Amino acid sequence: MLYLFSYSDLNHSLLVFLALLFILFYEAINGFHDTANAVSTLIYTRAMSAYTSVIMSGVFNFLGVLLGGLTVAYAIVHLLPNDLLLNATSKNALAMIFSMLLAAIIWNLSTWYFCLPASSSHALIGAIIGIGLTNAIITNSSLVNALNIPKMTNVFLSLILSPVIGLIIAGSLIFLLRHYLKDNKTFHRIHMTPLERKKVDGKKRPPFLIRIALILSSIGVSYAHGANDGQKGIGLIMLVLISIMPASFSVNLNADKKEIIDTKNVLNNLEKYYLQHILNTSDKNYKNNKIYHSIITDQFFHTIKDIKKAKLLLKNIFNYNTLSIKKRLELRHFLLCISDAIDHIINDNHINIQDKHFLKKNKEIILNTIEYAPMWIILIVALSLSIGTMIGWKRIVVTIGEKIGKKSMTYAQAMSAQITASISIGIASYTGIPVSTTHILSSSVAGTMLIDGDGIQIKTIKNIALAWILTLPVSILLSSVLYSIILFLI
């Protein structure tokens, strides 16, 4: 890690250190802002004590970051166009990073102070949008090209749909539990609140099996949160390093010979695939739509050019350290362009399942040496998130535990909300989609309350919805203003 500060003067090194510190601070805030998602149901059902719950959540957040992969991390990195990352000067890159992080931190701390379960993901993505748009205005570039629109669209859809899906799934689980376990002699207590349990059975804690289910589902939320939100911190650090020191981090300089050979082989395979499909004019799908055939052929020829250029850069290369700085940047650019082109084909209805599988597999190999993170980055992010998880958790816990539903939470409601959140966030982490842990859990709790007929506190839901609606525009505006001010000052 110390080698980061050996490439430039003292002032630049201090700024790099400060940028990394800001990211870790953001991740710690993310931790204590979102701790409630994993521990609120445990605390309010008395399945575990508050402090034991928080420590357990911190441990599994750490493991989630450590073992969660990097798909979400690079979904964050690729929200900004590749050209903006690689063409930014060192000062512009630092201005971009600081304004982005400050905007997200200010909003996160504000919503935490007012006990509002808001989305750290929304805030971060809004800040990135603000940077892209402001940069386009300053440089007189196209606003349409200021952002990676296809990836941004996917992120927006996930952020909008995930709370709705959480509400529906959690509500459905409660409906099923009501239907099948209401009269069950063994598990009917699952529909009790802690106060009802104490009144009927004279016991504070849930029945043993229900308690185990609550603890396991909470562990699932903590792990999934670490895997999804922890990756955002990893993505931010890689964003800093790629933009400030692209010569060292645009490609994985520690990639071994086999990985580079695999990349070369994939480039050969893709070149053959594209040429074969251009020549295959007998395909009915192409023949029946001449306009489509013309567009897809043009795209294919453009991608073949990128493949040839990447192959030329890698000719007789078995160690990325032997590439010049300029060639490393060019290689990253071409590989990302090829990856984006593959995405376009995969999303095309004219492509058969076998071809989609072939392209997905080759895309993974293409990105293997440019979508990476050193282990020290993963470890410090995991540590920051887990430490943050163990502090500052009380404010949001009260909101989720007491202020969403009109009545106390039953064991079934807590378990349904947690299971829904852990599965939803886990799937999102695996597929590389950044989602809001807070919104999924809050909407899941609301869904269980609605189906059970307990009702919800409209004022709280309105406040959460208002924070949800305002997060993007406020963080866009904040990052834009901060970016402009910092650029003016430097």
Cα 333-335-339 angle, rounded to 5 deg:
115
What is the spatial distance between Cα 444 and Cα 241, in angstroms, rounded to a whole number?
A: 37
Under the banding of pLDDT at 50, 70 and 90, the label for residue 58 is: confident
Q: What is the dihedral of CA 55, 58, 63, 68, to 10 degrees?
A: 150
Above 60 in pLDDT, residue 294? Answer: no
Angle between helices 437-451 and 411-431 (to 10 degrees): 140
Higher pLDDT pick, 182 / 7: 182
125-148 tens-digit pLDDT: 888 888 888 888 887 777 666 666
The answer to whether 385 and 37 have CB atoms below 8 angstroms apart is no
373-384 tens-digit pLDDT: 999 999 999 999
316-332 tens-digit pLDDT: 999 999 999 889 989 99
Cβ burial 307-331 (10 Å sphere, 16+ → b, else e): bebbbebbeebeebeebeeebbbbb
Residue written as tokens 């899906």? 165
Above 90 in pLDDT, residue 158? Answer: no
Mean pLDDT along residues 105-132: 81
Angle between helices 208-244 and 437-451 (to 10 degrees): 150
Highest mean pLDDT among 40-54, 149-163, 373-387: 373-387
Amino acid identity at 267:
L
For 342-346, 395-399, 459-463, which range has the lowest pLDDT when averaged over its residues? 395-399
Above 60 in pLDDT, residue 350? Answer: yes
**Sequence-distant (≥ 6) Cβ neighbours of residue 490 within 8 angstroms:** 91, 94, 95
**pLDDT at residue 267 in the model:** 94
405 - beta bridge partners? 456
Under the banding of pLDDT at 50, 70 and 90, the label for residue 282 is: very low
Above 80 in pLDDT, residue 60? Answer: yes
Burial (CB < 10 A; 0-12, 13-18, 19+), residue 240, is buried
For 74-78, 98-102, 201-205, 376-380, which range has the lowest pLDDT when averaged over its residues? 74-78
Under the banding of pLDDT at 50, 70 and 90, the label for residue 214 is: confident
**pLDDT at residue 309 in the model:** 94
**pLDDT at residue 146 in the model:** 63
What is the spatial distance between Cα 300 and Cα 403, in angstroms, rounded to a whole number?
A: 55
What is the spatial distance between Cα 149 and Cα 61, in angstroms, rounded to a whole number?
A: 31
For 215, the token pair is 């603890």
**pLDDT at residue 222 in the model:** 87
**pLDDT at residue 90 in the model:** 62
Q: Is the pTM of this model over 0.85?
A: no
Q: How far is CA 343 from CA 147, 263, 361, in A?
A: 16, 17, 12
Q: Which of 227, 265, 262 is nearest to 386 (CA)?
A: 227
Q: What is the mean pLDDT of the chain?
A: 80
Q: What is the dihedral of CA 414, 171, 392, 64, to 10 degrees?
A: 90
**pLDDT at residue 281 in the model:** 47
Which three-class secondary structure string do you get for the chain? CHHHHHCCCHHHHHHHHHHHHHHHHHHHHHHHHHHHHHHHHHHHCCCCCHHHHHHHHHHHHHHHHHHCCCHHHHHHHCCCCHHHHHHCCHHHHHHHHHHHHHHHHHHHHHHHHCCCCCCHHHHHHHHHHHHHHHHHHHCCCCCHHHCCHHHHHHHHHHHHHHHHHHHHHHHHHHHHHHHHHCCCCCCHHHHCCHHHHHHHHCCCCCCHHHHHHHHHHHHHHHHHHHHHHHHHHHHHHHHHHHHHCHHHHCCCCCCCHHHHHHHHHHHHHHHHHHHHHHHCCCCHHHHCCHHHHHHHHHHHHHHHHHHHHHHHHHCCCCCHHHCCHHHHHHHHHHHHHHHHHHHHHHCCCCCCHHHHHHHHHHHHHHHCCCCCCCHHHHHHHHHHHHHHHCCCCHHHHHHHHHCCECCCCCHHHHHHHHHHHHHHHHHHHHHCCCCCHHHHHHHHHHHHHHHCCCCECHHHHHHHHHHHHHHHHHHHHHHHHHHHHHHHHC
The answer to whether 85 and 246 have CB atoms below 8 angstroms apart is yes
- Percent over 90 (pLDDT), the chain: 14
Q: How far is CA 275 from CA 264, 269, 271, 280, 296, in A?
A: 17, 10, 6, 9, 12
**Sequence-distant (≥ 6) Cβ neighbours of residue 265 within 8 angstroms:** none
